[in-house]
């Protein structure tokens, strides 16, 4: 079976498959999570747009994705640094029309220095200690007073899972959910084939709404926690990060150094707190 790829802005792509159940084969339609490249171009004030990076992502909330990425990489500090965000204007090139995003900055932009930093970070070409030292200079510590009860932590995944609409159709992508630390209410969810992209979209929503820092919020992740996930959370001022899976060793070191509460293996009433447990009200018997 061969099919011609079709460029789409939809997060789900429908394909024809052969499904085998109990030894019986049948031809049916199946939903797959859409994965397409997104080229990010950046232009400083008065300069021409230059390609900074290309990432594979699920189409949707693209402007949030690039805004969140620029914040986490330290290229912008907030909403006020962005003049405009737009899709590619080359209408004759339909394939690229919605797969290229240009960000116009209000200030200068030195692409070569920034590109080297982004490439090094993405390829893990710098040691963990250097990475953490760079982050501590760039990120303000999250607010110390934010506290959430252990029971509320257990309820985060119960709220996140029903909100993963694309996952219900495909079973193949990650989610990041933002919650109010005081009430436990779910505020926003973003999904993507890449877990880093899902978080960038969530943070980018705050950038574009001029709603950062997220210092009274809790982040819930559907997968494991890497160094980059803690980095992105810290850049957005998020004090508490929880996940259904495990963190990496560098993620734990980073969380401890930056003052971020890090919780893994959130399963029902069980969890493991890896960093800064003072923000978690363990209740009687703790």
Active site annotation includes 271: no
Structure tokens at 44: 């400083």
Cα-Cα-Cα-Cα torsion 199, 38, 52, 65, nearest 10 degrees, comes to: -20
Of 167, 211, 214, 213, whose CA–CA distance to 190 is shortest? Answer: 167
| Longest Cα–Cα distance in the chain | 66
Considering 88, 124, 127, 139, which one is annotated as catalytic?
124
**Long-range contact pairs involving 130-137 (C-beta distance under 8 Å, separation at least 24):** 131/227, 131/231, 131/250, 131/254, 132/253, 132/254, 132/257, 132/258, 135/231, 135/234, 135/254, 135/257, 135/258, 136/257, 136/258
Residues recognised as catalytic: 124
């Amino acid at each position: 079976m061969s099919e011609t790829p079709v460029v789409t802005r939809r997060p789900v792509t429908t394909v024809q498959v052969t499904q085998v159940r109990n030894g019986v084969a049948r031809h049916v339609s199946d939903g797959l999570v859409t994965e397409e490249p997104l080229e990010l171009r950046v232009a400083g004030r008065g300069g021409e747009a230059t390609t900074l990076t290309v990432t594979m992502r699920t189409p949707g909330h693209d402007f949030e994705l690039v805004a969140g990425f620029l914040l986490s990489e330290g290229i912008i500090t907030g909403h006020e640094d962005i003049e405009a965000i737009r899709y590619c204007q080359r209408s004759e090139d339909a394939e690229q029309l919605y797969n290229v995003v240009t960000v116009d900055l209000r200030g200068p932009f030195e692409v070569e220095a920034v590109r080297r930093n982004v490439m090094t970070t993405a390829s893990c070409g710098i040691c963990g200690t250097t990475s953490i030292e760079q982050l501590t200079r760039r990120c303000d510590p999250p607010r110390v007073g934010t506290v959430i009860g252990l029971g509320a932590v257990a309820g985060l995944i119960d709220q996140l899972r029903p909100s993963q609409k694309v996952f219900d159709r495909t079973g193949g992508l990650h989610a990041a959910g933002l919650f109010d630390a005081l009430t436990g209410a779910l505020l926003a969810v973003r999904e993507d084939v890449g877990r880093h992209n899902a978080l960038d979209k969530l943070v980018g929503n705050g950038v574009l709404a001029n709603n950062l820092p997220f210092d009274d919020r809790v982040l819930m992740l559907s997968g494991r926690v890497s160094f980059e996930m803690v980095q992105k959370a810290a850049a957005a001022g998020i004090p508490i990060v929880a996940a259904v899976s495990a963190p990496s060793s560098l993620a734990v070191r980073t969380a401890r150094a930056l003052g971020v509460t890090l919780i893994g293996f959130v399963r029902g009433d069980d969890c493991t707190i890896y960093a800064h447990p003072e923000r978690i009200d363990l209740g009687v018997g703790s």
